[in-house]
Amino acid sequence: MSNYANVKFLTSAARVGQLVADTGREVAFAGRSNAGKSTAINAVTGRSGLARVSRTPGRTQLINFFELAPDRRLVDLPGYGFAKVPDVVRDRWHELMREYFARRESLIGLLLIVDARRGLGDLDRAMLEWAQGGDRRAHVLLSKADKLGRQEAIRVLRATQAECAGAGIGAQLFSAHARQGVDEAREVLSQWLEGGV
Ligand SMILES: Nc1nc2c(ncn2[C@@H]2O[C@H](COP(=O)(O)OP(=O)(O)O)[C@@H](O)[C@H]2O)c(=O)[nH]1
Ligand SMILES: [Mg+2]
C-alpha cells in the first residue's frame, strides 16, 4: 500500500447517491477552504496534478474520490469556513457531510488539514468529533509549516498535540512545499489502509 504510483481519479459526487460503492477502505481529507487539502493529496500520492490546487477558495461542494488500489481510496471532501458562501450552500455542505459520516462504512479515518498559522478552529473540531463519533481514526496535518519559524511551528504542534492526545488523535507538521512531514503522513495512511477489507 506504500506505493501510490497507480493512484487515479475515480469520480466526483455532489450528492450521497453519487458516492462510489461503499466497499473496502477509504480515508477522507478534510479542512477549511484553502487549508492545503488538495496540495496535501498531491504530495502524499506524489502526483502533482492529481487534485486541483487553487488560489481562490472553491465553492464546488464535491466529494472527490481517488483510487490508490482496488478497494483503497482517498477522498477529498469539500472545504468549509469560507466566509462568503451563501447559507443555502453552507446548509447543503452540512447535510452532505452529515450523511457521509453517518453512512459511510468504508470510511476508516480522517486526515484533517489545518493551516499551521491558524491552528485548530471550531469547524475543525466539529470534523474531528464527527469522525470519532463513527469510531474512526483521525490525524491532523498542520499544513504550510514552511510559513512559520521553527519556534512557532513547534509551539503550534505542541498545543495541537496537547488538545488531541486525549482522543487518541495524532498531529504533525506538514509542508508540501518544503516536503516536510510527507513521509510521516504517508506512513499514517499506509497503516490505516493496510490489512484486510
Ligand atoms: N507555503 C505553502 N503554501 C501552500 C502549501 N500547501 C498549499 N499551499 C497553498 O495554499 C493554497 C491553497 O491550497 P489548496 O491545496 O488548493 O487548498 P484546499 O482548498 O484546502 O484544497 C494554494 O495557493 C497552495 O499553493 C504549503 O505546504 N506551503
Ligand atoms: Mg482543494
| pLDDT band for position 57 (cuts 50, 70, 90) | low
| CA R_g for the chain | 16
Q: Is residue 160 a part of any domain in this protein?
A: yes
Q: Is the dihedral of CA 28, 32, 35, 38 positive or negative?
A: positive
Calculate what percentage of the chain has a pLDDT beyond 90: 75
Strand extents, DSSP E, 44-86: 63-69, 72-76
pLDDT tens digits, one per residue of 127-170: 999 998 888 999 999 999 999 999 999 999 999 999 999 999 99
Distance CA 104, CA 102 (A): 6
Higher pLDDT, 38 or 86: 38
Which stretch of 48-52, 105-109, 157-161 has the lowest confidence by average pLDDT? 48-52
| pLDDT band for position 1 (cuts 50, 70, 90) | very low
Q: Is residue 75 a part of any domain in this protein?
A: yes
- Contact (CB, 8 A) for 44 and 186: yes
Q: Is residue 3 a part of any domain in this protein?
A: no
Is pLDDT above 90 for 58? no
Residue 72: all three cell numbers together: 483503497
Q: Is residue 176 a part of any domain in this protein?
A: yes
pLDDT of residue 173: 98
List alpha helices for 57-134, DSSP H.
87-103, 122-133
Could you tell me how far CA 55 lies from the centroid of its own chain?
18
Q: Is residue 141 a part of any domain in this protein?
A: yes
Q: Residue 186 sits in a domain of what CATH number?
A: 3.40.50.300
Residue among 29, 39, 62, 124 whose CB has most ligand 1 atoms within 8 A, to mutate:
39
Protein residue closest via CA to atom 4 of ligand 1: 144
Global pTM reads: 0.94
Instruction: State the total domains in the chain.
Output: 1
Q: Is residue 2 a part of any domain in this protein?
A: no
Domain span at 187: 8-193
CB-ligand 1 contact for 42 (6 Å cutoff): no
Is pLDDT above 80 for 190? yes
Q: Helices 37-45 and 182-193: crossing angle, nearest 10°?
A: 80
Residue 57: all three cell numbers together: 477558495
| pLDDT band for position 185 (cuts 50, 70, 90) | very high
Q: Is residue 69 a part of any domain in this protein?
A: yes
Q: Is residue 1 a part of any domain in this protein?
A: no
